[in-house]
Chains A and B, each alone.
Chain A
Amino acid sequence: MHDLIAITALGGTTPRVDTVAGVTCTENPAVALASVAARLGQEAKAQKALAKLIDASAPDVGQHAGGTIAAFWSTPDQWMIEAPFESHEDLADQVNSAMGDSASVTEQTDAWTRFDLTGDPLASVLELLCILDLRKISAGSVACCSIHHVGCFVLCRSPEEFSIYGPRSSAGSLHHAIVTAMRSAL
């Protein structure tokens, strides 16, 4: 048996935590992801299956919804599904059986890295990072935008809690950008 050590996207054995003034950035590797794309002509059926899976209406443009298994909108008729890795390591399989023939599902867990930003004032950090209209963003919003030339999803869970998903291969650059913005703004 190989003696392998699990490391996070930033290369540590424990998630990286950075705090500047009242804002904390936490690397969050404990999440499983899968993407769902409704098949042509089966959009309504896919939305129904998705609603059943997340126990909430399928998120509309720029929204996220759900409980333990949650979904966020990524592009028309496409969503990303997120769930705790511990209990949903095989998330893509679970989503695939829930969606049936109505959608195509792709495993995404290791493609992304997630940073959770908590504290106050988050808006002053985020306005340095991205060009989103933060006044229009409220709890339940999600937007895709460029941070430090890296394409990211920005999820607003509450005004004091945001999650940023970026490509795992750019985790170092994204982390650098976030912490630099925190140091500049706070």
Chain B
Amino acid sequence: MIINHPLLGPRDAAEFTYLGDASMIDRPDWQAEDAAEAFYDYAYLRDNLAGEHRELWYHEAGDRSWLVVTRDTTTHEISKVELARDVARARGRSK
């Protein structure tokens, strides 16, 4: 499998490690009223999709960047690759 890194171009999947669902970017507010419940959901509950899935990959043997890869879990077709920091910042993180 080849992952088309947004900066470095096509790189072999062996250079990457997989973390999991990209929803892990959306870490709940620890000071919120419902923080305990939100963290339970965040840590343990995942949608197990058959189809298009956004997931976090780490370019361990490359530039060490985190990527958000949109992959079809039934065909392994990768339709989109973004830098995770761009995705996180677009959602108002890192401020």
* A residues whose Cβ falls under 8 Å from a Cβ of B: 40, 61-62, 74-76, 131, 133, 136, 143-146, 151
Verify if B4 is at the interface (C-beta below 8 Å from A): no
**Interchain CB contact (< 8 A) of A40 among B7, B8, B64, B94:** B94
Where chain B touches its partner, the secondary structure class is loop
B-chain residues with CB within 8 Å of residue A151 when the two chains form the complex = 60-61
Q: A133, B15: Cβ atoms under 8 Å?
A: no
| Closest partner residue, chain A, to B61 (CB atom) | A146
Within 8 A of A (CB), among B42-95: 60-65, 83, 85, 94
Q: A61, B85: Cβ atoms under 8 Å?
A: no
| Bound CA span A75–B84, Å | 13
Given contacts A40-B94, A61-B7, A61-B8, contact A75 B15 (CB under 8 A): no
Within 8 A of A (CB), among B17-60: 60
Given contacts A61-B7, A76-B83, contact A144 B60 (CB under 8 A): no
| Bound CA span A135–B15, Å | 20
| Bound CA span A74–B63, Å | 6
Q: A75, B65: Cβ atoms under 8 Å?
A: yes
**Interchain CB contact (< 8 A) of A145 among B9, B10, B15:** B15
B-chain residues with CB within 8 Å of residue A143 when the two chains form the complex = 8
| Bound CA span A15–B61, Å | 27
| Bound CA span A143–B10, Å | 13
A-chain residues with CB within 8 Å of residue B7 when the two chains form the complex = 61-62, 76
